[in-house]
Each structure stands twice: as C-alpha cells, then as structure tokens.
Amino acid sequence: MPPGRPPAPPRPGSAPRRPLVVASNRGPVQFEVSEDGSIEHARGGGGLVTGLTGALSSAGGLWVAAAMTDGDRHAAEHAAGDMEIADEDAKYRVRYLTPEAERFDRYYNVVSNRVLWFIHHYLFDAPRTPRFGRAVRAAWDDYVAVNREFADALAEEPGEPAFLVQDYHLSLAPLMLRESRPDALVAHFSHTPFAGPDYFRILPQAMGDAVLRGMLGADVLGFHCDDWAENFLLCCRHVEGARVDLRRRRVEIDGRSVAVRTYPIAIDAPALRRQATSPAVRRARRELVRWKGDAQMILRVDRTDLSKNILRGFLAYETLLNEHPRMRGRVRFLALLNPSRRAIPEYRAYTRDCLRAAERINAELGTPDWQPVTVVVRDDIDRAVAAYSLSDVLLVNPVFDGMNLVAMEGPTVNRADGVLVLSRNAGADALLGRHALSVNPFDVQETAEAMYEALHMRADERHRRAAGLRRAIGANPPVRWVGSQLADLERAAAARAS
C-alpha cells in the first residue's frame, strides 16, 4: 500500500471489522415473564432487526434500547446490566434502559411521536395544531434526559466500536456522545421521511436547532431515499455555523465533516418466504381463500398510524365502487391493521374514523351476500403473510413514509401476480415505483383509478410487473444496508486519520 493512503474501506456486505453498538428506542427483542416466572423473549421482525442482529453477531457488540413493556422492565431489572441473546441465527448482547415511567411517556408519546413524528410526516392540521406551550417544553426536557441516558450508556462501551444510532427518538444522542467521546465513530439513521425546511420550522426554534445539531454530531447520516436526505440538507442551511454542500451531500460544522447518504433498507426475503410455508400461514391462507370466494382481493396491511392514509384508501375504494357499479360483488377489500401507539389520542380517534368509514361503506354499498370491506384490527403476522400471498392488488398509500416495508413484503410472497398501488411519497417508490402504479396519496380519484386499472390489468403485464418487483427487492439484501453504512464510517475514520 503506498505510504499515507488510508486502507480501502470494506465492501458493503463483507464482515464488519470493529464491534458495533446499536441504539434504538424499540429493541430487537421483547421480553415476557412466563407463568412459571422465567423470562422469555421474542424477536421483532423486519429488515432492521435482521440486518443489525446479523452484523452484531458477526462483529460482536451491544444493542442498547428502551424497555417498552413490563416484561422488558422486569428483564432489565433482573439482569441489572447486559443480557445475552442467543437465537438460532444470531448471538449478541442487549441492554434495556429503564427511564422513569412519566419521563419515558413524555419522551416517547409526546416529543417523539406527537411532535417529531408529526413534523416528519406532515401530520399537523395547521390551522389548529400544534400549539406549543409550556407542556411541550417540559416534555422536551425529558426527551433531552432520555437521549442523555442513551448517550451515557453508549459512551461506556470500551474500545473503538462503530455506533449506529437509530431514528427520531434519538436525534440528540450523536452530539451528546461526541461531547464525551470526541473520536467516536457514529452513524445516525432516520427511518422516517425528513420534513422540508418550511415545515420543519413549525418546531420551536430551539428544538429544531437542537435536533439538527444533535444529528450532526454523527459522522454519517443515513436516510432511506434522496428526497429525505435533501430535505435534511436544506434544513441545515439554517443552522448557524454550518456549511452545507448540497452537491457533495456534506455538512461542515465545528471543524468536522458530516456525510449525508441514502441507504434504502431491505427486508429479509428468504426468511419471509420460509414463513409463508409455515403451518400457521397455510392455515390462515385456507381461511382467506374461503372468505375471498371468486372475488378479486384488494389488500392493505398497516399499523393504525395517521401517516398510513387508511381513511383515504377506503374513500378511494368507495369511489371505485360508485363509478364502476359492476365491480360490486366482484371485489373485496381486506384491511389488516396492527394496533399502534394507543396512548396517543389522535391515534385512537383516527382508528375510530377508519372503522366508521368502513362500516358506512359496508352499510351503504353492501348486500346480504357481499361485504365490500373487512377490517381486522389485530397484530397477526401469519394472517398478513397469507393475505400477501393471495392479493390481486396491494394498496400502500401513505401520506408520507420513510420507506414502507409492506410494499416489499407483499410482492415477495405474492403468488397471484398482484399489482402494487404505491404512494409517490413512500421512500419505497424510489426503488419500486417503476414496477408499481404510483399515486399521489391525497388524490382519492387517482387512487381509485389506479386500483381499477390494477384489477383489470392484462395477465402478461401483471406478470412482468410482479417479476420486476421481486427482482428489485431481491437486489437489495439487508446486509447491504448495514454494510454500506459501515463502509462509509470506515471512510470517515480514514479521512480523519489522514
């Protein structure tokens, strides 16, 4: 190697060189105390957990998260430190932090999910909300405190690990960690969209500034797609002392250089395909086949989140049935909704509104032997996978979404050459839009027409598009998402050393 030239960064996907320390609000496993008093755990699904636990087991390291359930708290208090997780395919340590309950509530339910989540998904009803007063400022202090707790836990890790901090819950932790460990190698990844600069300015200025500066404490900032990365850069133009290079996607601040990059997350497609052959999924599929009869099936699978646009999805379906009365009795809409964030009043009200809309459509358009919409509000992954495999149309129409994994999961196990109707405001559209029917999620008419087109698409075109979706999804394995971030961190380390 020529003198002075830094070592080449590892290829994405190659084994990580240094230990990893992951931080996220929700941990990779959920603990439960079983009847005999023993503590058991179940692993969360999704590409994030698969990608990161895989990398953690090969590099060694720790995952720091917040206790979310009584079981988590019990396990954390019982262990009083790190816990070893040994699953069949991954072995790593976890540490669950246990902030005081009210503090956690204000950090999670108020600042993270009612303020920052709303900002990044454009969810406020601007003439009326938000109304930032003293309460939100008090909650902000708890947000700062929990971020501090995370940063302190990370700073305790010895050696020179790569720190991988996840999401809007922990936007302050990178700078806090940097202050105690100036040489730390830190990446922060946003799984949400990032609001554009005008909308971001809804935040009280001190909070907005703290969020941006906090994230800029990292060496590498990751987003699911270019639009969110660009929005972040545009927001940073208002940070005093920061120099933003939009073309090179870098921010210079406090004598450091921060790379702003796009790393689209992936799903664990082989694991999902294996799950699709399990007895539980087969059973659920048999039930759904009976339920569906000869009708075509439109499917949606979502958390009951305001960002998912469930209500407009129903209205679009209603438009389709009104404009094409011949479709009545020939199509069924299945909405599988996973209850989410029920402590937040807006979420409860939204779920109620969605259910009422479905009931109204059923009452107005249904017949004794045909119910237009079936809504199931339950966390049932086996039923979701079974439904994915059978659906003719998968509707994924979020208002805004960082990526959206349903758009990847559905086509991976679908056996009916199902068509994807996909919001242009989902990060997934950058990856899959070519093979989907893309829609403006606010345009109910366009969404109705796309669903109609999907239901009537010629078999060869459906086949071509379904194959395209599977190819695009398969070309992006979870190891690449982690590997590319680690490669960029090594580049940052090399640049710092030179």
Are the beta carbons of 1 and 7 closer than 8 angstroms?
Answer: yes
Contact 107, 142 (CB under 8 A): yes
Q: In this structure, are residues 112 and 136 in contact, taking their beta carbons and an 8 Å threshold?
A: no
Smallest gap, in angstroms, from Cβ of residue 362 to ligand G6P? 29
What is the nearest approach in angstroms of ligand G6P to the Cβ of residue 192? Answer: 5
Q: How many residues does the chain have?
A: 498
Pick out residues in 438-477 that bind ligand G6P (CB under 6 A). none
Residues 13 to 32: which contact ligand G6P by CB under 6 A? 26
Q: Which is nearer to ligand G6P, 106 or 465 (CB)?
A: 106
* String marking each residue 285-324 x if it binds ligand G6P according to CB under 6 A: ----------------------------------------
Contacts 24+ apart (CB under 8 A), 341-348: 341/109, 341/113, 341/303, 341/305, 343/105, 343/109, 344/109, 344/113, 344/114, 346/114, 346/306, 347/304, 347/305, 347/306
Smallest separation, CB 46 to ligand G6P (Å): 8
Least Cβ distance, residue 321 to ligand G6P (angstroms): 31
DSSP 168: G
CB of 191 to ligand G6P, least distance (A): 3
Site string for ligand G6P, 187-206 (x = CB under 6 A): ----xx--------------
Instruction: Please tell me whether residue 114 binds ligand G6P under the rule CB under 6 A.
Output: no
Query: What's the count of helices (H) and strands (E) in the chain, helices before strands?
Result: 19, 18
Contacting residue, 257, 319, 340, 374, with ligand G6P by CB under 6 A:
340
Residue nearest to ligand G6P (CB): 191
Which of 167, 268, 302, 429 lies at the binding interface for ligand G6P (CB under 6 A)?
167
Side chain identity at residue 44, one-letter code: G
Q: Tell me which residue of 194, 191, 187 sits closest to 211, measured CA to CA.
A: 194
Amino acid letter, 319 = T
- Which helix (H) or strand (E) segment holds residue 229: the answer is helix 226-236
Nearer to ligand G6P, 257 or 340 (CB): 340
Beta-carbon contacts of 300 under 8 Å, excluding residues fewer than 6 positions away, are: 310, 313, 333, 334, 335, 336, 394, 395, 396, 397, 406
Nearer to ligand G6P, 69 or 180 (CB): 69
Q: Please give the helix or strand (H or E) that residue 354 lies within, else none.
A: helix 345-365
CB 221 within 8 A of CB 188: yes
Nearest residue (CB) to ligand G6P, 427 versus 441: 427
Q: Which two tokens stand for residue 173?
A: 């932790």
- In the complex, least distance from residue 123 CB atom to ligand G6P, rounded to whole angstroms: 13
Burial label for 108, CB within 10 Å (0-12, 13-18, 19+), is buried
Q: Residue 142 or 167: which CB sits closer to ligand G6P?
A: 167
Query: Binder to ligand G6P among 341, 435, 465, 480 (CB under 6 A)?
Result: 341
Taking phi over 0 as left and psi of -120 to 50 as alpha, with beta for the rest, 251 belongs to: beta
* Nearer CB in complex with ligand G6P: 117/452: 117
Least distance in angstroms from the C-beta of 139 to ligand G6P: 16
Q: Which is nearer to ligand G6P, 419 or 428 (CB)?
A: 428
Nearer to ligand G6P, 106 or 341 (CB): 341
- Quote the crossing angle between the two packed helices 444-455 and 310-323, to the nearest 10°: 60
Q: Nearer Cβ to ligand G6P, position 44 or 474? A: 44
Total residues at interface with ligand G6P (CB under 6 A): 6
CB of 28 to ligand G6P, least distance (A): 11
Task: Report the interface residues with ligand G6P, using CB under 6 A.
Answer: 26, 167, 191-192, 340-341
